[in-house]
Structure 1
Amino acid sequence: MPSRRSILKSALTGLIVAPFVAPSVTFAKAPFAVVQAPGYYRLKIGSVEVTALSDGTVALPLAKLYTNTSEHDAQNALKDAFLPDMVPTSVNAFLVNTGERLVLIDAGTGGYLGASLGKLVSNIEASGYKVGDIDDVILTHIHTDHSGGLMSNGKRTFPNATLRVNEREAKFWLSSANAMTATGTVKQHFGEADQCVTPYVKAGKFETFADNAAPVPGLGSILYAGHTPGHSAITLESESQKIVFWGDITHGDILQFDEPGVAIEFDIDQKAAVAARNTAFKQAVEGKYLVAGAHIAFPGIGHVREDSKNYDWLPINYA
């Protein structure tokens, strides 16, 4: 009977003598990963934590949408900034943790504007929070790219949050008489406002705030009417630091800084929107505070300074 030693010796001899045969399986090169990392960026304003949140990007023909300029001139300005004809345009929201309450500023697009958007909830969760943690949602205005994410599958996305909107903004968009007389895209926006905002009204989770008033303790507002009737920036100050969440003062971070007089088709009142932008730019330069834009390349936070052409956008330095 062969011993354990002889069996092992035979096995080892076989391994040494037998020729090496390469495996027949060939491995493919690494596939493309495709997706970006979760879209959130954190910073402190004094003792308050601010988290910028990406809802995604949407490709827009901005040169065709800008007004008070020619498409040719707008396109050249964008090309000089290495931007394509269809400009990837960020949709940003911002989460403010004061230590006492968790406040979301703007709610993204939800399922309204395509698969490249609607990422807000997943990015809230990736950043370490849950939708049920949010105490308040403040809208800079009620356009669908700011309010569409309020509802998910027929239910309020933020079940414990009170929705807060400037009172003249609410009066305009929740008016059935205004909805009846609206046309085109604006009429569509009225329908979507009803779908997204009204459920919070019916649930008793809706409150309005006056012009330039505090939506919640610790946050203020500045009426910058024009883009919509009650379009309002939201302000935060803590320990001598300040940030102003602009909403739609600009669309993009190129043309309208050099040419503040350029409006966009989405403005309800283009003349008033231009005036509001000039005021917002001037105040940001004088105050030297951070601003956060809903449609400035993510995370959309930076400073405004004057330059030889008018104004310049300086993105926050990564930290």
Structure 2
Amino acid sequence: MCLCHESRHPDHDLVPSRYATRIGEIDVLVISDGALPIPADILGTNVDSAVRDAALRERFLPDVIDWGLNVVVVHSGGRTILIDAGVGLEMPDATRAGRLALRLKGAGIDPASVTDVVATHIHMDHIGGLLDQRLRSQMRPDLRVHVSHTDIEFFKSPDFSHNTFGGIQDIIRSSARKFLDAYKAELRPFDKQHEVAPGVVVTLTGGHTPGHSVVRVSSGGERLTFAGDAVVPVGVDCPEWQNAFDHEPEEATRVRMRLLREAASTGELFLASHLSFPSLGRVAAAGKAFRYVPANWAY
């Protein structure tokens, strides 16, 4: 199965593409890298297709879902941290994605001011922007790229035996290889956890990829969790649904349940890579599942 091709639409950027908030004394900016069209049947791969399709209809979701690409910029302790970097040009048929260089500029962020990048994992829609010369040519020479040692080792020779990946295995392999070669000198591998800047901590979770990580931002008694791909569309209210993009589907489910329980208990702000922009919200318990409560839009 292949990802759907998109038709070209003019004036892509006449849409909201950035949203600012604060966690205590730390500035956080969510930026949209656009969206990818993803067939809905990559969701709920472990449930009956009729049940899955009925659940999607109840949520007014089409057969092809706009899969948001959210990245985050954090300012803390004199450092500017980019969390994930979008898809760049790694999926050229996805004409509404790969907007990061343009949208950083629109947000007033000079790529040369970025001191650190955190890659939650080494999939093309999270590291592709770093391979895009529109962005890479503007990055500073002493950039530090933080990614788990586990993911680095895995993506040297990735194993796709546990998933289908919608037919994009070759793109994932190619992007990973280019990324690991291009950023050999800038990589700062971590094992389990690393504080990138005051109050900004990246933590290995595994599941989606063996070295998948989440980022927590904490300041002044407030906290935000960027969950990467641990939670995808419908993943809050149907947390036991597996999807075709998880390398370790059962472990990914355990990770997702753990993160959602934690977010429900703390009431913290919560966002993820592929939830609809700006993705910011809170998680509430709803029986054996959860529900997502979007944060009030602060005009």
TM over 0.5: yes
Contact 1:258 1:309 in 2 (8 A): no
Of the three residues 162, 183, 195, the one matched with 2:178 is 195
Of the three residues 255, 266, 271, the one matched with 2:250 is 271
Q: Which has the higher helix share?
A: 1
Of the three residues 45, 54, 59, the one matched with 1:81 is 59
How far residue 88 of structure 1 moved from its aligned partner, in angstroms, is: 1.1
Equivalent position of 1:313 in the other structure = 292
Taking the TM superposition and a 5 Å limit, the aligned residue runs for 1:235-314 are: 235-252=216-233, 254=234, 256-308=235-287, 310-314=289-293
CA separation in 2, counterparts of 1:33 and 1:159?
Answer: 27
Contact 1:138 1:163 in 2 (8 A): yes
Contact 1:38 1:126 in 2 (8 A): no
Equivalent position of 1:60 in the other structure = 38
CA separation in 2, counterparts of 1:117 and 1:110?
Answer: 7
How far residue 309 of structure 1 moved from its aligned partner, in angstroms, is: 5.4
Normalising by structure 1, we get a TM-score of 0.82
CA separation in 1, counterparts of 2:294 and 2:17?
Answer: 16
How far residue 208 of structure 1 moved from its aligned partner, in angstroms, is: 0.8
How far residue 33 of structure 1 moved from its aligned partner, in angstroms, is: 6.3
How far residue 64 of structure 1 moved from its aligned partner, in angstroms, is: 3.9
CA separation in 2, counterparts of 1:187 and 1:118?
Answer: 19
How far residue 133 of structure 1 moved from its aligned partner, in angstroms, is: 1.1
1:47 equivalenced with 2:25 (yes/no): yes
User: Which has the higher Rg, Structure 1 or Structure 2?
Assistant: 1
Contact 2:207 2:249 in 1 (8 A): yes
Contact 1:219 1:236 in 2 (8 A): yes
Contact 2:101 2:135 in 1 (8 A): no
Contact 1:156 1:199 in 2 (8 A): no
Deviations 1:113-149 (A, max 9, x none): 2211001111111111111110001011111110111
CA separation in 1, counterparts of 2:220 and 2:105?
Answer: 28
CA separation in 2, counterparts of 1:141 and 1:303?
Answer: 23
Give the gaps of 5 or more residues in structure 2: 1-9, 162-166
Distance 1:198 1:156, change over 3 A: farther
CA separation in 2, counterparts of 1:277 and 1:157?
Answer: 36
Q: Would you say how many aligned residue pairs link Structure 1 and Structure 2?
A: 280
CA separation in 1, counterparts of 2:160 and 2:288?
Answer: 37
Structural RMSD (CA): 2.1
Between 1 and 2, higher relative CO (CA 8 Å, sep ≥ 6) is seen in 2
Of the three residues 220, 228, 231, the one matched with 2:212 is 231
Q: 1:124 is aligned with what amino acid?
A: L
Deviations 1:52-102 (A, max 9, x none): 000001121123443111232222212211221111110100000115110
1:137 equivalenced with 2:137 (yes/no): no
Contact 1:224 1:233 in 2 (8 A): yes
Normalising by structure 2, we get a TM-score of 0.87
1:106 equivalenced with 2:84 (yes/no): yes
How far residue 215 of structure 1 moved from its aligned partner, in angstroms, is: 3.6
CA separation in 1, counterparts of 2:122 and 2:249?
Answer: 17
Contact 1:64 1:71 in 2 (8 A): no
Distance 1:33 1:64, change over 3 A: closer
Deviations 1:282-314 (A, max 9, x none): 111112111121001001111110114510011
Identity of aligned residues (%): 29
Equivalent position of 1:18 in the other structure = none
